[in-house]
Chain A
Amino acid sequence: MIHFVILLSRQGKVRLTKWYSPYQQKERATVIRELSGLILSRGPKLCNFVEWKGYKVVYRRYASLYFCMCIDQDDNELEILEIIHHFVEILDRYFGSVCELDLIFNFHKAYYILDEILIAGELQESSKKTVARLIAAQDTMVETAKEEAGSISNMISQAM
């Protein structure tokens, strides 16, 4: 299973973290510090995996952003690498040529998308279309709710 997902910028800034196994706030900080030291310093031609404290961390770099996932010893690294890519492709489709800035300002949306792809540390949905449909449904629901709220407040303001 995937124990956590971390998005790091090349400067070591945290862009997104999601913990599927229990980690205290302090442990989280150490994990991030250790991993950024370990991963950011690796050369481009090396393996996309690092062994770390009995776990394996699979990472992949997209432009200046590192996507890291921590998995168990007996998991399939290449599969995780593709799960990362799957996530990025869905982000790309949602934001339209996604860039790091999208994730910085919309990190909560990135969380929603991640929640549709991974659940409880396992891959939940491997169909991009299904994920896209669910996210779109949620967005429209939110939009309609907003419009309704807007029209009500309009009515109130007019009435007053």
Chain B
Amino acid sequence: MEQLKTIGRELAMGSQGGAWAGQSKEFLDLVKSIGEARSKAEEDRIILLEIETLRRRIAEPDVPRRRMKDYIIRLVYAEMLGHDASFGYIHAVKMTHDDSLALKRTGYLAVTLFLSDDHDLIILIINTIQKDLRSDNYLIVCAALTAACKLINEETIPAVLPQVVDLLAHPKEAVRKKAVMALHRFYQRSPSSVSHLISNFRKKLCDNDPGVMGASLYPLFDFITEDVNSYKDLVTSFVSVLKQVAERKLPKTYDYHQMPAPFIQIKLLKILALLGSGDKQTSGHIYNVLSDIFRKCETSSNIGNAVLYECICCVSSIYPNAKLMDSAIEATSKFLKSDSHNLKYMGIDSLGRLIKINPDIAEEHQLAVIDCLEDPDDTLKRKTFELLYKMTKSSNVEVIVDRMIDYMISINDNHYKTEIASRCVALAEQFAPSNQWFIQTMNKVFEHAGDLVNVRVAHNLMRLISEGFGEDDEGADSQLRSSAVDSYLRILGEPKLPSLFLQVICWVLGEYGTADGKYAVSYIIGKLCDVTEAHLCNDTVKAYAISAIMKICAFEIAAGRKVEMLPECQSFIDELSASHSTDLQQRAYELQALLSLDSQAVGSVLPLDASCEDIEVDKELSFLNNFVQQSIEMGANPYLPESEQLGMSGVSNFRSPYQQEASSHTLRFEAYELPKPSSIPVIPQASVLTQTRDLVPVPGTTYYRENNLGSKLPTGPEASSADVGIKLRLDGVQKKWGKPTYSSSSSGATSAEKTTNGIGAHQDGIRSQSRDTVYDSRRQQPEVSAEKQRLAASLFSSSASKTEKKPTSGQRMPKGSDANAEKSSVARSVSPGNSEVKTAAPDLLDFGEPVPISAPTIDPFKELEGLIGPAQAVIDNSITTSGVQAPDLMATLYMDTPPSGSRSSSSGLVSEGVYSTDKGSHTAKPTPAVKKGPNLQDALGKDATVRQVGVTPTGNNPNLFRDLLG
């Protein structure tokens, strides 16, 4: 047994990454016991015990540093599982002061996980962060920057800001990148603190390192969101960067699944969408690069679709362009027709964006939309409701709102219920075909969403009922009111109604219950009394009810009729007069007082239909003038405005120094001056900043000069301008990442154009192929049910008369456009040279429909045979279960294969084939194939260590050993 342990340990040490070396036995035991816990309660008990132990141990004097590190990691673990470990925070803070990098990192990790940015202990870390930001070791600087991102708050930004700004010029790109991201975080916390640094971010856009450039896009994106117009000058720079990225000028390491730096592309597209929004001229610059990317995007991979989706967003945001719209529509329809739910979801979202520009395109996809609406997947359904919300017109509002309400009734998620209820209300208010329908809809919403509805909505409804729909037709208004009263009287029979709805009912019954003379006064009052008894209602509803009773009585008295007090009404009034709520008491007494007044007085206290009268507020209080005049004549002191009052009493003299003091009370983070100030002159912060801005060399400029020696200067006047430092020079940057071609920008573009044309056309060919198959499968499906078609018709058709014809024409639409597209793409795919045609062959295998491919061609078991022989023997001897383990270990497939997953390993070869055909444009070095399949030695190592530790996958979690990635 002992021997086995050693073997296990050796194996563990030998494997790359060190497996589980370096952790204490206690930690491993903790994890093990947690892993074996059968219930949450048991887990909690273990952790609480552990926390108690740690609390004792950590407080012992002279805990060795390495031991302390172990304790802190265990605390992090406890906190991660949701328990409070606040007693250990201070020790984590102390650990950040340590000199050794290992311990310092642990300390920083722990504090970033423990502390929120407003925690009291932060103040103790500031000094350490300041010191570490100045460290010679870039790894320490990195650790400090990571911590600063999490811990520095608005108040402490000034303490570290100058140093972080200095780090923008650090020789290590990792540090520059983190510094940019930290400044971005500071901007989010407190925009004013960083806003003077905009020029620095602009400079970082032409950093030599793509990582730093990519990082600079985040702050720039935020700045541009804030104020678009100040950054229009950057459009050409962004476009040229994007072009270079798309043309694979970045280092290969930024490729992701054969896409050139897709994450940077996405961010750039987001920025361009902002810049081009509603600006025809700017959008003009973007069109070219967008259509390039549309052509290059690989729709078979997830990341390709992510970029494609971002393109669609961009197209829908910038000034519309017909050609790009077509591409966007084509991409969207491909999303919608996909089998993957994710893509359908994106398709629905894209459609929602595109119909803002052209509402007609929805019609083509009506059946797909209906399918999504009826999909069992809630996420997809909700997204579809969002789309329907966007495309609601007065012709389809009834169907859509009905659907929404049905869905609303069926869900329990309060947050979404609120949202969908407010959408229903918005649609009903905007498009209601009739008052009747409107009232009914609102009733349903209130009945089912109840108190989740915003109070404002209830007030709106009351206002709408009292004011009518803005038409001057009194008759229609009163009809609306009486139908509202009818429906409310009916609804009051329901057993349980939300309080907000009851308020509306009470108010409407009070105002209009007796207006049309259909119902007797006593009937309405009786109903109102019932409301308070039948429903458990709060004081607000009672107040509404008694006010309503008061109004009805008043109308009666004003009309000269006698009011009979019902016994239940009397008891209701008595109850309220003795209520704890003074508001209710007052209302009750007011009602009683009102009953004793004569008809004229009552008529002027509560006139009929007064809710529509505008209340004019007399701000000058002119009606008090007489009273004031009298008082002054009687010898009262005249009123003095507040400012004069303060001036007279001298309070203002106290005030201003106090304010000054307050401002100087803020924390100081700079070190105190040394006793002899002559040796180190303290530079005020502002001058430091200007200094750096002046002195920092601009990489862009120097680079620009070097690279343009061979090429002609594209922009003469700009180059000679004085502020070269701050302005961007991206004409030069163009060749930064690619091969030094020394060609003028125009020729570079054309050569790239050629290559892209080749690829694009030839992908088109494939696309049409796959589309064919899609279409075929669609045709084979049984005819779409009549019900669906009817639904589609009611949603999408503009007039009811076309209901019968529309669905079929809609079905045909995609077919027609498909055929066209096919023709054109076939025509295009013929045109390029023979070389492309040859390479197309392997492509076809690969880019087709995402059929599950049994990816690894090598049988993992065969591979296993050789290696596992001796090792297995050892394991077999000791543990009987290992026979079952072995296949589990080697399982390489995903549990559920995502659409792109299985393809990645083989498509590397394909891209090699494609790109080696055009030798001129770039060196086609295929990325070294990612190591696939399980590393046997590793796996065995882990297995052995696990056994040594004693953790074996038990019945409740057999998957612990399963490779996450195949």
Contact = CB atoms under 8 A, between A and B. Distances in A.
* A, B from the same assembly: yes
B895 A63 contact: yes
B632 to A, nearest CB: 57
Contact of B82 (A25, A49, A91, A101): A25
B108 to A, nearest CB: 9
A49 B81 contact: no
B266 interface: yes
Interface in A109-160: 109, 111-112, 115, 119-120, 122-130, 134, 137-139, 141-142, 145-146, 149
A108 B106 contact: yes
Interface stretch (B288-296, B323-331, B697-705, B930-938): B930-938
B873 to A, nearest CB: 22
Contact of B178 (A10, A92, A104, A124): A124
B962 A100 contact: yes
A137 B113 CA distance: 23
B264 interface: yes
Interface string B205-237: 000001100110010000000000000000000
Given A122-B218, A126-B264, A49 B342 contact: yes
Contacts of B262: 79, 82, 126
Interface residues of B, number: 105
A88 B930 CA distance: 13
Contacts of A22: 116-118
Q: Describe B's contact surface by its main secondary structure.
A: helix
Contacts of A85: 302
A35 interface: no
B139 interface: yes
The 10 A-B residue pairs whose C-beta atoms are closest, nearest first, are A64-B959, A78-B306, A63-B962, A62-B964, A96-B938, A129-B253, A120-B185, A142-B102, A44-B896, A92-B965
Contacts of B380: 46-47
Interface of B: 15-20, 23, 28, 31, 34-35, 43, 73, 76-77, 79-82, 84, 100-102, 105-106, 109, 113, 116-118, 137, 139, 142, 146, 149-150, 174, 177-178, 181-182, 184-185, 188, 210-211, 214-215, 218, 251, 253-254, 256-257, 261-264, 266, 302-303, 305-306, 309-310, 313, 341-342, 344-346, 376-380, 382-383, 415-416, 419, 894-896, 898, 930-931, 933-935, 938-939, 942, 946, 949, 951, 956-957, 959-965
A99 B342 contact: no
Interface in A4-35: 9-11, 13-14, 16-18, 20, 22, 24-25, 28-29, 32
B181 A122 contact: yes
Among B106, B382, B957, which residue has the most Cβ atoms of chain A within 10 A? Answer: B957
B71 to A, nearest CB: 13
Nearest to B346: A78
7 contacts: A22-B118, A32-B82, A63-B964, A76-B306, A89-B965, A105-B949, A126-B261
B965 A98 contact: yes
B3 to A, nearest CB: 23
Nearest to A91: B964
A116 B116 CA distance: 20
A126 B962 contact: no
A78 B35 CA distance: 32
Given A95-B938, A141-B137, A146-B102, 6 more contacts: A9-B957, A45-B896, A46-B380, A49-B379, A64-B959, A98-B965
Given A63-B963, A64-B959, A120-B181, A78 B416 contact: no
Contact of A82 (B31, B256, B346, B415): B256
Contact of B113 (A104, A111, A134, A139): A111
Contacts of B76: 107-108
A98 B965 CA distance: 7
B184 A122 contact: yes
A41 to B, nearest CB: 11
B244 to A, nearest CB: 15
Given A98-B963, A120-B185, A77 B139 contact: no
A14 B378 CA distance: 25
Contact of B80 (A16, A78, A97, A145): A16
Contact of B263 (A119, A126, A145): A126
Contact of B415 (A53, A101, A115, A134): A53
Contacts of B378: 50
Nearest to B43: A13
A14 B43 CA distance: 12
A148 B678 CA distance: 41
Contacts of A40: none
Contacts of B215: 124
Contacts of A45: 341, 896
Contacts of B342: 47-49, 77-78, 81
A77 B345 contact: yes
Contacts of B960: 64, 99-101, 104
A61 B101 contact: no
Nearest to B210: A127
A141 B141 CA distance: 14
B116 A62 contact: no
Contacts of A78: 302-303, 305-306, 309, 342, 346
Contact of A137 (B20, B139, B178, B302): B139
A138 B930 CA distance: 23
Given A64-B895, A104-B35, A105-B23, A82 B302 contact: yes
Given A49-B345, A82-B262, A126-B261, A120 B184 contact: yes
A155 B256 CA distance: 49
Contacts of A64: 895, 957, 959-960, 962
Contacts of A149: 100
A119 B380 CA distance: 30
A20 B43 CA distance: 26
